[in-house]
Amino acid sequence: MSRSNHSLHKGASGSAVCYGTSAYAHDRPCRDEWIKFLELTDDQVVAWDYFQDWRWGNARLCPFEPDSYSPLSANAKVGSTLATLTWSIPRETSCWRDFPTGPRIATPACESVCYVTNLLQCRPDLNMKLLRNEEIRWESQFPQIFVGAAIEWQTLADFRKVKLIRLHTSGDFDSEIYVRQCIVIAQMLPHVKFFAYSRAWRRNELIPALSDLAALPNFVLHLSYDRDSGSPPDIPNSWTCPLLDKGDAPPELQATDCVAFRSRRVTNRQIVLQKPGVTLKWVTSGSKRTRVCLQEDASQLLPPSYDRCHRCLRRPPATGE
């Protein structure tokens, strides 16, 4: 059904006043109709209003293309519709930065295969967005800007409610304040499922905050690990995910492993050259076996997106189950 024929596009009063801007601004329903259609809470309405004021007050932002002014982005790997979004920050100021004491969040194995490097080469504009998001996340009203941006996407997503947001296709949690703000965001959007892969557990001071984040009913936290990081700590309500470089023997797998990631997709011929314990679909170590992510399974001609696979979106079993 086209936008012009959708019943929501004609206000009850016949008013031409619309809320927000897009290429279809003249054809969008009024603000009150969106609030009713999206079933927004009072806190969400306040956040949406704040985002609108923030956006219009920023002269650098283009008012017509959502991906240029919004801190959130659509991502085909995460989902096949505009109802699945991502939030990212620069690697250099989060997982790659050096702390006064203790290790980096990223490991040498992680840095050597980081796919954001290729993304930045293919999309020079992405770096501009990451730098802008770095500024946004330190603003006092960061949760309101994030939630308002998610609601704004819903008004552009062919009348689909945003249901899935991945944190950090680039970057990672790097401070307790930032993790706490992400907790507030997830609480303000209870109908949205959030998920993230993180090595922030390598910073001991972040483990309590990560535990609180993983305890949220609408957040799925994956603790990434590899040969350089060692095994992650036991954080209740979280999964673990090993990274396996091509040709490497499997690390010591965990009982809480959700999926295993390779540095790149491999072919059947390359599998022959792998060390024992690695096959096209499974990584085996001792008595434990972990499924390779379907995005990196060469037997999948068309790997499913996260919102269709659902493997990484499952809540982990409660402790003791």
> Structure pTM?
0.82
CB 166 within 8 A of CB 306: yes
Residues 31, 139 within the same domain: no
Beta-strand pair 164-167/193-198: parallel
Q: Which residue has the higher pLDDT, 87 or 265?
A: 87
Residue 211 has pLDDT above 90, yes or no: yes
User: Which one of 193, 209, 239 terminates a domain?
Assistant: 239
* Assigned domain for 302 exists: no
Instruction: Assign 113 a pLDDT band (cuts: 50, 70, 90).
Output: confident
In a domain, residue 275? The reply is no
Residue type at position 199:
R
| Residue of higher predicted confidence among 53 and 124 | 53
**Does residue 130 lie in a domain region?**
yes
Kindly state whether residues 104 and 64 are assigned to the same domain.
yes
The C-alpha torsion from 9 through 15 and 17 to 19, rounded to 10°, is -40
Residue 188 placed within a domain: yes
Among the ranges given (38-52, 107-121, 122-136, 253-267), the one the predictor scored with the smallest mean pLDDT? 253-267
Last residue of a domain, one of 206, 239, 272: 239
Same domain for 82 and 101: yes
From the list 263, 205, 183, the residue with the least C-alpha distance to 196 is 183
pLDDT above 90 covers what percent of the chain? 35
Give yes or no: residues 117 and 14 share one domain.
no
Asked if 139 and 47 sit in the same domain, the reply is yes
Residues 80 and 223 in one domain: yes
User: Which of 43-47, 161-165, 203-207 reaches the highest mean pLDDT?
Assistant: 203-207
- Indicate the pLDDT class of residue 19, thresholds 50, 70 and 90: very low
**Total domain count for the chain?**
2
**Is residue 3 domain-shared with residue 114, that is, in the same domain?**
no
281 part of a folded domain: no
**Does 34 share its domain with 153?**
no
**Cβ–Cβ < 8 Å for 85, 75:** yes
Quick one: pLDDT at residue 109?
86
For residue 267, is it within any domain?
no
Question: Does some domain include residue 283?
Answer: no
Residue 91 lies in a domain: yes
Q: How many whole angstroms separate alpha carbon 91 and alpha carbon 70?
A: 19
Residue where one domain finishes, among candidates 239, 271, 288: 239
Residue 170 and residue 60 in one domain: yes
> Based on the domain organization, do 151 and 20 belong to the same domain?
no
Same domain, 51 and 86: yes
Which structural domain, as residue segments, surrounds residue 1?
1-38
The side-by-side arrangement of strands in the sheet containing 238-244 is: 72-74, 84-87, 164-167, 193-198, 219-225, 238-244, 261-262
Q: How far apart are CA 98 and CA 96, in angstroms?
A: 7
Strands (E), 130-206: 164-167, 193-198
Q: Which range is most confident: 11-25, 33-47, 182-196, 268-282? A: 182-196
**pLDDT over threshold 80, residue 61:** no
Per-residue confidence band for 204, with pLDDT thresholds at 50, 70 and 90: very high
- Same structural domain for residues 6 and 84? no
